[in-house]
A and B are shown apart, each in its own frame.
Chain A
């Protein structure tokens, strides 16, 4: 039954993709409809009217788009239901599909971990399908055909869901490639700009390199298993030597880390995510990265089994570096979607800090704390999916209404777009880890796990874990700074361009509803984290065979991961107290009608008239941080001052140019490129172009192989 739900979720997303193809088949469809009408004349009048309307030329595209997104939404709903029910049922369901080669069936397994990620994808897909129709409405059909967008969106979602179902390496890789390749087409959707094509190509290359690493990792596992069936069951049973286990782990970390966007293999992410349509960016950033996290968890905890603390250390350090560098790079961006993409790097880093902590604790025999860390990581995975999708959808609304992507040209939107501004504010608060929202809960749990470092034997680990926790604090605090910058520049202050001054609130109910769903979940999960933690506890029980202690899960008000005596957090109380204190002071101070607000001009230092150009820009806002952490970026700053008049005293013109680049582009990739080119030149010498030389090569190879065999 549960599996049927999961299958139908996949099938529906396929269907929605296929349905999108009929965008240009209106005439054929309407002929088909006339034929059906002729055959069965007793179709109810209401249906007939409705369908006739829908098949007219004006309404057809809109209706079809709505139908495509409706199917996608139902698929998301089913995925959510399937995920939740398998999480609650706490069992794992296996199945075989007889597709593919005759002796290699596709193995399917649906357990708690897959269920959790199913639910995550489900929520995001529901929100995106609510949002989608409004967003693609004004799409230019000639330039950006909806058929392409819908087809690949459907296939993309189906691919992600299939990855989670896979129980053998072949199926896994096929689904993985389906996900990667369809998302390539989505990135390349707006292909008229060469930058977008370049970003998409970069994404494809890195996705494929990552895929190769994953295949090699599976290969190592399969090499140690009994038969070469490549099923996960066989891989679980495989007994690896520690060295080979480490090699397999590192390959998986490289492959999945490339997809997840760990520093320094993140460079595709800020290029690719912003150029896709916004609702797709929401899916890519909010969900696709999580599939990579799923892959790593599945590979490490489930397939490899016996974890080593060195792996945990590697993951911890990589995670800490990613989180700090990700947010620092994000601070320097002024393209809104690029900035959000860099924040994905940061949040993936935070998730990896949690995973690293759990690996360290588990391998040192402190499973009960490892569970806390794992739950923190999984919780943050869920939270990031919620608030990052929300923020990307918000960015889409802003883009649609103002036609701007550069936040330096925005401002004052809080007055023009009241609904969007509230929802976006909730997203900003959640990602900045402010209580009482959900981002805070997962980071709090990560801290609680890190604070238990004292139980470890090794002094080096004991001192490194707090340092990485401090990196996490730095990342969280900088993220808050970054989102003050983002929200302040976009929504507050005076509008910096005409587009922004004239912007309107988004039309229709769908777009705010999609965002509202995510914002509401951010809020509810922040106030009542107990339910989610209960579910995650089931995941950890299935994966590790260990759960949190009973009193930690029991209360729905109190959150005490280790014990009440060590740390506790009661979000409902916090909310209640904030509302009470704020409400009472609000009511008390405003009771006197004579003291109503008086509006006046703001203080302008007596120089008359504030102009939007006097405001702090986003570049100016992040300037102190740019100066303090100057070594992290590659900064080119140029100031040209033109002077004239007597003694060159009068300044007529000032030009300021600032270029901030990601250092990893310059430090890591050019050497790789040079090496590849050099190797290619060396290899290229074989290509003389003379056919007899090629024959001689083949001959030599043949002789050599014969010698090897003998």
Chain B
């Protein structure tokens, strides 16, 4: 039963991810006074891409071909460890939050290699920038994670969420910092404005898009889907760690239904904020990203310090 539940939850994750992207696009369009595409447009795109013959460059190696599958399976794996509607599932014990970061690193490693495989200037540019940004983002992410895990004294996401649920509403200064740090990192890691622009194809601005420029057909579909899952992963992490109320702690139909409704509501709200911030802010120069990320790191560090200084007395 538990295993079935875990598989269902992972499936939900993967299936709902394009819907979240569609919702963000819809919000952004409405905010910018444009006519919005249907919420289901990402699904249609994926469908179209999987039914096209993929074209690869002549000099592409086997690495280029397997990369989309590696990225996609790493993201599915990551999705299986993050509690979406229920905690205490067996899959979430197989990998804690540090392993989650490891899955992201695995996907990124292959993506960056695939960017270099063809030997075009764009791919190299994208890979170089992606690896630079991620290597600055990871310490900041760890700082935020440390703050959480020190309070909950576990790195297992299920138990951490359970901890937050058990103690009820507490004003923890460290959590405030960790929340902001994690939001900043999530924006950087999922390639949103102001770090990267998912909608652009200008060589000066693109990072993620530059790496996958040579992909087409089902390969592109897998990569796009994986990045939609990643966006949703970060959203669920933020929503469920800091505002876990509503998540199911026992497997009854009503609890699960409530959990589904609450997570949908939380994600819709978060996505609305994301769309709003993407409408309000402009993309940064590449070398401003380091300041942005070191600010995220500073937030994480301050969260940790405020946990040590303010919340524990010995």
Contact = CB atoms under 8 A, between A and B. Distances in A.
A and B, direct touch (CB closer than 8 Å): yes
Interface of A: 411-412, 414-415, 425, 429, 432-435, 440, 444, 447-448, 451, 453-454, 457, 459, 462-463, 466-467, 469-471, 473-474, 476-478, 480-481, 483-485, 487-489, 492-494, 558, 564-570, 573-574, 577-582, 585-586, 589-590, 594-604, 610, 612, 614-616, 620-625, 627-628
A483 B146 CA distance: 26
Contacts of B218: 589-590, 595
13 contacts: A477-B134, A478-B135, A481-B135, A492-B113, A567-B96, A568-B94, A574-B94, A574-B99, A589-B222, A595-B217, A614-B119, A615-B121, A615-B124
Nearest to B129: A624
Contacts of B124: 488, 493, 615-616, 620-621
Interface of B: 50-63, 65-66, 69-70, 72-74, 76-77, 80, 91, 93-96, 98-99, 102-103, 105-106, 108-109, 112-113, 115-121, 123-125, 127-129, 131-132, 134-139, 141-143, 146, 149-150, 153-156, 159, 213-214, 217-218, 222, 286-287, 290, 297, 301, 304-305, 308-309, 312, 314
Nearest to B225: A585
Contacts of A414: 61-63, 117
A595 B127 contact: no
Nearest to A623: B128
A585 B213 contact: no
B58 A600 contact: yes
Contacts of B58: 599-602
Contact of A434 (B51, B102, B150, B154): B102
A467 B120 CA distance: 38
Given A492-B63, A493-B118, 20 more contacts: A414-B62, A433-B102, A448-B98, A470-B297, A474-B135, A476-B105, A477-B105, A477-B136, A484-B116, A485-B128, A493-B117, A566-B154, A569-B95, A573-B94, A596-B53, A598-B55, A603-B213, A610-B120, A616-B121, A616-B127
A578 B76 CA distance: 8
Given A434-B106, A480-B109, A569 B99 contact: yes
A578 B77 contact: yes
Nearest to B107: A434
A598 B116 contact: no
Contacts of A476: 105, 138
A581 B131 contact: no
A469 B139 CA distance: 8
Given A473-B139, A494-B119, A578-B77, A616 B287 contact: no
Given A473-B142, A598-B55, A574 B118 contact: no
A432 B105 contact: yes
Pairs of residues from A and B, 5 with the lowest C-beta to C-beta distance, nearest first:
A616-B124, A488-B116, A581-B73, A493-B119, A477-B135
Given A434-B106, A487-B113, A585-B222, A566 B156 contact: yes
Given A457-B314, A621-B124, A624-B132, A600 B77 contact: no
Give chain B's interface secondary structure class. helix
A415 B125 contact: no
Contact of A565 (B72, B109, B156, B214): B156
B96 A568 contact: yes
B142 A469 contact: yes
Contacts of A463: 304-305, 308
Nearest to A577: B77
Given A581-B76, A582-B72, A434 B96 contact: no
B106 A477 contact: no
Nearest to A418: B62
B156 to A, nearest CB: 6
Contacts of A595: 51-54, 217-218
A616 B57 contact: no
A432 B110 CA distance: 12
A581 B74 CA distance: 8
Contacts of A621: 124, 127-128, 131
Given A602-B59, A624-B129, A432 B77 contact: no
A123 B241 CA distance: 44
A615 B119 contact: yes
A476 B98 CA distance: 12
Contacts of B61: 414-415, 492
Give chain A's interface secondary structure class. helix
Contact of B109 (A429, A444, A489, A494): A429
A621 B119 CA distance: 13
A483 B106 CA distance: 12
Given A567-B154, A622-B128, A484 B119 contact: no
Contacts of B214: 602-603
B69 A586 contact: yes
Contacts of A566: 153-156, 159
A453 B57 CA distance: 50
A434 B127 contact: no
A193 to B, nearest CB: 32
Given A412-B119, A453-B150, A615-B120, A435 B99 contact: yes
Contacts of A616: 116, 121, 123-125, 127-128
Contacts of A579: 73
A568 to B, nearest CB: 5
B196 to A, nearest CB: 14
B117 A492 contact: yes
Q: Which of A429, A484, A558, A625 has the most CB of B within 10 A?
A: A484
B69 to A, nearest CB: 4
A491 to B, nearest CB: 8
Contacts of B134: 477, 480-481
A597 B54 contact: yes
B11 to A, nearest CB: 11
A471 B138 CA distance: 10
A632 B120 CA distance: 30
B119 A492 contact: yes
A484 B108 CA distance: 10
A599 B56 contact: yes
B69 A480 contact: no
B128 to A, nearest CB: 4
B178 to A, nearest CB: 12
Given A477-B134, A477-B138, A493 B116 contact: yes
Contacts of B136: 474, 477, 628
Contacts of A574: 77, 94-95, 99
A481 B131 contact: yes
B132 A625 contact: yes
B222 A600 contact: no
Nearest to A455: B153
Contact of B155 (A477, A567, A601, A620): A567
B213 to A, nearest CB: 7
Contact of A578 (B63, B74, B116): B74
Nearest to B92: A568
Contacts of B132: 481, 624-625, 628
B142 A604 contact: no
Nearest to A429: B109
B222 to A, nearest CB: 7
Nearest to B291: A628
A688 B305 CA distance: 63
Contacts of B118: 493, 602
A461 to B, nearest CB: 10
Contacts of B129: 624
Given A569-B96, A577-B77, A602-B214, A451 B109 contact: no
A500 to B, nearest CB: 12
Contact of A451 (B72, B121, B146, B301): B146
B109 A432 contact: yes
A602 B57 contact: yes
B211 to A, nearest CB: 11
B113 A466 contact: no
Nearest to B140: A470
A447 B100 CA distance: 13
Nearest to B124: A616
A676 B53 CA distance: 71
